[in-house]
Structure formats: C-alpha cells, structure tokens
Amino acid sequence: MAPACDLIEGVAAQNVLADKAYDADRLYQKIIDQGGDPVIPPRRHRKRQHAYDKDLYKERNRVENFFKRIKHCRRIATRYDKLAETFMGFVVLASIMLWLK
C-alpha cells in the first residue's frame, strides 16, 4: 500500500472511497490522520471488521460504470486531444450522449 499512501499525501478529503484491495491498516490510519473518513470495505481475513458507509460505497460503483461507458468512445479512451479543454469538451459530449440514451 506504499504507493496509495504516497498518492494521498497532503490531500484533504472528507471521504476516501476504495475497494477491498486497499484495505490496509497503514492506508486506513493515514486517511484518518489527514482528517478523512475511509470508505473501504474490510477484507474477509480481518479478525476485527471495521465499519464503513455502505450507501456511499455504492456510489463508487456508479462512478466506475460511468468511466467504463465513456471509454467506449475511442477519442476519449486513447486521449487524442492535446489540450485539456478539448478533451474535457469531448468528455462532456460523451456524457450527454449517454444521458440521452
């Protein structure tokens, strides 16, 4: 979990959502030390299962499904655009197309 701990260093977040693969004591404690609430389901092998917000965790799945769907647009998946504004424009366009379906 060292890369995940380094990734969140200095980032203030109210909630940190992750899947079971990120259930490590070191990461869990780092999130708490930075003032956040870890929303990470515990793995089965833990002797002491910690609580997490199940409703908020379900929202994580919605976000993942959104990214899975917009990656069907080749232009977004391969990142043809060099400018961030142009890329975001196509992300918005793909989002609108999904919304209209």
Give the containing element (helix H, strand E) for 16.
strand 15-17
Spatial contact of 53 and 70, defined as CB atoms under 8 Å apart: no
Given a cut of 60, whether residue 1 has pLDDT beyond it is: no
Give the whole-angstrom CA distance, residue 61 versus residue 58. Answer: 5
The 10s digit of each residue's pLDDT in 11-67 is 888 998 888 888 888 888 899 999 989 999 988 888 888 888 899 998 888 888 888
